[in-house]
Amino acid sequence: MKKSLVCIFSILALVAAGNENKILNEAVDVYYGRNGAVCDKARAFQLFSEVAKNNNPHAFYWVGYCCIKGDGVEKNIAKGLEYYKKSADLGYANAQYAYAHWLYFPHKEVKRDRAAAFSYFKMAAEQNHLKALVFLGHCYRRGHGTPKNYQKAYECYRKAADQGNAVAQYQVGEAYFFRRGVSWDSQALFKYYSMAAAQKYPPALYRTGAAYSNGWGVPLDLAKAADYYRQAAELKDPRGTGALAHAYYRGYGVEQDFGKAFQLFQKGAELKDDISLWYLGMMYESGREVEKDDAKAFECYQKSVAQKSWFARYDLGRCYEYGIGTEKNPAKAFEHYRKSYHNTGIFKTAVCLFKGIGTEKNETEGFRQLQRLVKNNSPAGHYLVAVCYENGTGTSQNNELAFLHYKLAAQRGIKEAIERLIYCYSHGIGTTADPAEVEYWQKQKLLTPPISLNDFIASHADNAPAK
């Protein structure tokens, strides 16, 4: 007891003498057990508390930190946040960031307040606190606590990135990739992705691999892409794991190996990678490298869709339409086809609307869906829109537009379009009759055997994305 009193009096004497920094440095050494000090968190808390009595912002921060962690004192998050706020309001950047971080994320112990979080992140960022700059960028990018502003988000990320923050470097790359506040720039996105990848930031390793896969700002190199995917996978990055699996599945930059692909897709699925779940579903459905299991395929497609995948939407709709691994349900099939960006899914949506399968019959909406295919430059879309214009199905009858779309589809090799185009030129439907064009397109049929519409649609049903 006597020794403890002597210690307290000596602390008070030092504080009174204006040696707060010396005491704080000693307290930090005691807290971590460094510079020859014995780790004693209770004593460290005592030291922090004494200095805090002088309204020292650094001491307030440390008292708050100890209270939140339960180090040297009973854990009390609410009390800890009170001390963080005291420190933050006195201008200490670390406290401003820490207090904002607690307000930004949902916790049982504290009510989320993103407007206040934004304010404190901004205070810390103005003192060049790098993590605060990154979160300020997040707030601007997502519209959290402030109006969404991609330009300001980019500026925050760029400032932190140029000082070496890996997360910010990755986000600058994302800004160039998604054109958020800046124009597309493949050289710049590769530069910043690779800077973050050099610091082993997992998402940046994946993106750098994608850059090599697609030739974004760097010569295309599938072997290097696979190496970056492997590094990302070793750090348990979901997308990196799925991309490495895809490389083995397709033989991109590595020797094709369906067994390895399956194992990696399983790991990616455990990490909730939507593409891995989708491919697992396709492998279970086809029986490739695994026993065919429609129920597991259906389950994988469901899980992939739950992870916001639009790739698996079409396949889940197909399962409901044909009863693959589940009972037939035309309404659910239509629901998933309608939400799919897959061209074949859009086509299926149109079919459901034209025939009233799983939904009310609506030819006008069906035609609008076919127009979506045209916007995606689908040859099948051009042909089907032409048929609608020729017959006045879902739209006003218009032979000139029918002819235009038949020709666009014919130029892409659709057999039925070529036949209709020959008929239009022969009879002057939607265009002037032209025997020379009739002869030309008849020769085209012989020189390059066209593909039928059904075969074209079937061949494009596997919408596997390039990684």
Write out the chain's pLDDT in tens, 467 residues: 444 444 544 444 444 445 788 899 999 999 999 999 999 999 999 999 999 999 999 999 999 999 999 999 999 999 999 999 999 999 999 999 999 999 999 888 889 999 999 999 999 999 999 999 999 999 999 999 999 999 999 999 999 999 999 999 999 999 999 999 999 999 999 999 999 999 999 999 999 999 999 999 999 999 999 999 999 999 999 999 999 999 999 999 999 999 999 999 999 999 999 999 999 999 999 998 899 999 999 999 999 999 988 889 999 999 999 999 999 999 999 999 999 888 889 999 999 999 999 999 999 999 999 999 999 999 999 999 999 999 999 999 999 999 999 999 999 988 899 999 999 999 999 999 999 999 999 998 887 666 666 665 555 554 433 33
In terms of residues, how long is the chain?
467
How many structural domains are present in the chain? 2
Give a yes or no: residue 235 inside a domain. no
Q: What pLDDT score was predicted for residue 3? A: 47
Q: Three-class SS of residue 42?
A: helix
pTM given for the model: 0.84
- Which residue among 67, 90, 113 closes a domain? 90
Report which DSSP code applies to 433. Answer: -
Among residues 45, 71, 90, the one where a domain terminates is 90
> Residue 424 domain-assigned?
yes
Residue type, 110: V
pLDDT for the residue 12? 47
Domain ranges, residue 2: 1-90
CATH number at residue 439: 1.25.40.10
Residue 270 lies in a domain: no
Residue 448 and residue 432 in contact, taking contact as beta carbons nearer than 8 Å: no
**Type and span of the H or E element at 238:** helix 238-250
285 is a domain residue: no
- Looking at the domain assignment, is residue 450 inside a domain? yes
CA 82, CA 20: separation in Å to the nearest integer? Answer: 21
Q: How many whole angstroms separate alpha carbon 64 and alpha carbon 101?
A: 14
b or e along 225-234 (b: 16 or more beta carbons within 10 Å of the residue's beta carbon)?
bbbbbbbbbe
**Tokens matching residue 436:** 């020379």
Cα(253)–Cα(466) distance, rounded to whole angstroms? 13
What local confidence, expressed as pLDDT, does residue 171 receive?
98
Q: Is residue 154 part of a domain?
A: no
Among residues 46, 64, 90, the one where a domain terminates is: 90
Could you count the other beta carbons within 10 Å of the beta carbon of residue 84?
29
Residue 147 lies in a domain: no
> What token pair was written down for 325?
């691994």
Could you tell me the CA-to-CA distances from 162 to 158, 167, 192, 202 in Å, in that order?
6, 11, 9, 19
Alpha-carbon distance 319 to 178, whole Å?
Answer: 33
* Angle subtended at Cα 268 by Cα 316 and Cα 186, rounded to the nearest 5 degrees: 95
Q: 451 lies in a domain?
A: yes
Helix (H, G, I), strand (E, B) or coil at 396: coil
